[in-house]
Chain A
Amino acid sequence: MKTDFYFSTESLAVGYNGKALISDISLGLKKGEILTLIGPNGSGKSTILKSITRHLATISGVVYIDEKNMRTMNGRDIATRMAVVLTDRVRPELMTCGELVASGRYPYTNSFGKLTARDHEIVMESLRRVHAEDLYDRDFAAISDGQRQRIMLARAIAQEPEIIVLDEPTSFLDIKHKIELLEILNDMAKNQNITVVMSLHEIDLACKVSDKIVCVKGDHIAAYGKPDEIFSDERINQLYEIERGSYNALLGSVELSRPSGAPRYFLIGGGGHGIPYYRALQKANIPFAAGILFENDVDFAVASVLASEVVAAKAFEAISDAAIAQAKQIIDRVEAVIDCGCPIGEFNRASGVLMEYARGKIITEVPV
């Protein structure tokens, strides 16, 4: 196969005990590109990764590294090209972080595993790359989850691979460490030209760090492409079968399910002022309506998935009389109007008009 891809799969089928779970996986990655597998729990992300790393026998199809069929390569050939970070929780006894990172030198050391001065240099360099030089002497069992994951990554780096495969590297990490880890991967990919294949649960992060995205869904690849081609609200909500609540692909934000029923309050918001009120009402499970919001307003993005009714106005256009009339109609039906505290200026004069109309019915706190 002649391609300019460094890593590729050709109609790969993966599964257990000779039975294919997911077939026809054809992916291609150039050097230094990051590919992320996303998909619901149990969709087969790990199965695909394990088949790539040869922890699972492939059912059919071929995996190529550097245009070589992986099946024809021996263990050492692969080990000098591909490093892995698995989900296995390792708990080695009496092992310092330095020793653990040094275990990545395995394919390069002599038959007794003696580390040379160069090996030590590479170990230190790998630790530096993940900002963990100070952990060198520490017992691996005594450090935090975030540090542990960085050490596991340093171990993979010390293997001097051309491709790193990571299975959910950000699980168990808090948001700071998630960002840090992905920054390190991104740096490796772009500056060292290392190809990265991984699975992530955090779709908001996946779209920011990846060059290519694979949506894995149970028995097939639901979508494969660049993040901006993949990340639409609809596709994500479908991929994960989100029935209650929603995911906003543009903002990367998650909202819980919309309170059902006729709106009891009308919220006058805008410019992000409405969002805390919308969420408070959602928590109390009180249906509400919101308006009048420009379609490019961040309040609109949230209101459209939480409010029973939204009175919207086209972005960059004056608010129409029809919208004002519609809002007034809702105000007539609700118990009260909540002023979310959005300042009123030249372009949202309509909000002022509505406040005037609802006078006597206005409150400023969520009545819970």
Chain B
Amino acid sequence: MKKTYTDTMRYCMVFLSLAILFCAAVVWNINTGSVDISLKDIANIIFTKDATDQASYNIIWKIRLPRLLTAAVLGGALSLSGFLLQTFFRNPIAGPFVLGISSGAKMFLAVVTIALSKYITTVPVSLTVISAFIGSMLSMMFVLAFSGKIKNMSMLLVIGIMISYICSAVTDFLINFAKESDIVNLTHWSLGSFSGAGWDNLKIATVIVLPTLAAVFFLSKPISAYALGEGYAQSLGVNIKLFRVLLIIFSSILSACVTAFAGPISFIGIAVPHISRIMLKTQKPQVMIPATFLCGAVFCMICDLIARTMFAPTELSVGTVTSAIGAPIVIWLMISRQRKDAQA
């Protein structure tokens, strides 16, 4: 029983550290950029909405704050989606995009962009968001349609990967016949970025992501039963068919939302669940779900900060940063854990 006590302590410590990191990332993010604003002014502007310094006020309220909050919400969503799919497939390399979400989004966006290129020169952001979301949902529908027919989960993984190949093929085909200037928007989108995130998009993203987070949290009990595989989960009374559908829908909504607003950001969805799991030393969804979300938010904010400041004024795409930082972290964590296991 002593173990339970130390476990609880560990969870508290992890959540406390994540909360501190979250606050630090927020402050650091607001404080960094091409225009320097002092901490005191920041506090003043945020908490009193003091608009005497109009330029600083606009930078903080219209650019930095919505951008960092978008990064936080979408980073959390992406990580949670990755956690769900890793649990679902019991495969550590499953990520939010294994079910073909991002490829579906890209294909649909390509269709829309190229179809409209005759009539308009630039595709408005709202249309990009809507097309990407529709594309994601289309891939999800395909996966759902197959999920009822198959017996074993790894087949679903294969179907997801095949769907993404088909979508990529269609996209490549379309791009072949498109003018370079028509697909600038598409290329830019497919790198992933939070630049230009505004309050409107953030509001929509939050309205989608937070209720999904809550719904996933309410599923923690059946998710925990999944740790031993579908056979045992079913024998404990979990309705497998319903559960599969819910998991696919929730993880797809989360990753579709990210893809729509920020493009297919690689890696966070694979790396963050691992990082959280290793910090918490547990698989329990009751703690893993909030921790993964928080950890993803912090990770994504830091990556976005690096993306926009490291080679300023040139801004990197956030996907570049997440992969460059995330991959070594995962390798290091895996190896150090294995070493620890070998010692034990």
Contact = CB atoms under 8 A, between A and B. Distances in A.
B282 A94 contact: yes
A53 interface: yes
Interface in B206-258: 218, 220-221, 224-225, 227-229, 231-232, 234-239
Interface string B260-283: 000000000000000001000111
Contacts of A111: 218, 221
Chain B CB count within 10 A is highest, among A55, A80, A93, A104, for: A93
B235 A79 contact: yes
Interface string A200-217: 000000000000000000
Given A90-B228, A94-B283, A113 B238 contact: no
B228 A92 contact: yes
A29 to B, nearest CB: 19
Contacts of B284: 99
Contacts of A83: 235
Contact of A54 (B221, B234, B286, B341): B234
B7 to A, nearest CB: 9
B225 A103 contact: yes
A152 to B, nearest CB: 9
Contacts of A100: 228
A180 B117 CA distance: 74
A79 B236 contact: yes
B238 A75 contact: yes
Contacts of B1: 120
Interface residues on chain A, size class: 35 or more
Interface residues on chain B, size class: 20 to 34
A137 B3 contact: yes
Given A106-B221, A159-B236, A88 B282 contact: no
A106 B239 CA distance: 13
B35 interface: no
A250 interface: no
A54 B239 CA distance: 12
A54 B3 CA distance: 36
A76 B234 CA distance: 10
A41 to B, nearest CB: 20
Contacts of A316: none
A17 to B, nearest CB: 10
Contacts of A275: none
A83 to B, nearest CB: 7
A95 B227 contact: yes
Contact of A86 (B231, B237, B281, B286): B231
A142 interface: yes
Interface in A105-152: 106-107, 109, 111-113, 120, 136-137, 139, 141-142
B344 interface: yes
B290 to A, nearest CB: 13
A55 B152 CA distance: 12
A62 interface: no
A159 B344 CA distance: 30
Nearest to A102: B224
A98 B1 CA distance: 10
Contact of B277 (A94, A109, A137, A141): A94
Contact of B3 (A93, A95, A96): A96
A78 interface: yes
A106 B227 contact: no
Contacts of A137: 3
A109 B221 contact: yes
Given A93-B283, A111-B221, A106 B236 contact: yes
Contacts of B228: 88, 90, 92, 100, 103
Interface string B1-15: 101000000000000
B344 A142 contact: yes
Nearest to B281: A94
Contacts of A93: 277, 283
A335 to B, nearest CB: 59
A52 to B, nearest CB: 11
A223 B234 CA distance: 31
Given A75-B236, A93-B277, A103-B236, 11 more contacts: A55-B235, A75-B234, A93-B283, A96-B3, A98-B3, A99-B284, A103-B228, A106-B237, A107-B236, A136-B3, A137-B3
What are the 5 tightest A-B residue pairs by CB atom distance, in nearest-first order? A75-B237, A79-B237, A113-B221, A106-B236, A76-B237
Interface of A: 53-55, 74-76, 78-80, 82-84, 86, 88, 90, 92-96, 98-100, 103-104, 106-107, 109, 111-113, 120, 136-137, 139, 141-142, 159
8 contacts: A78-B237, A93-B277, A94-B277, A94-B282, A96-B3, A111-B221, A113-B220, A113-B221
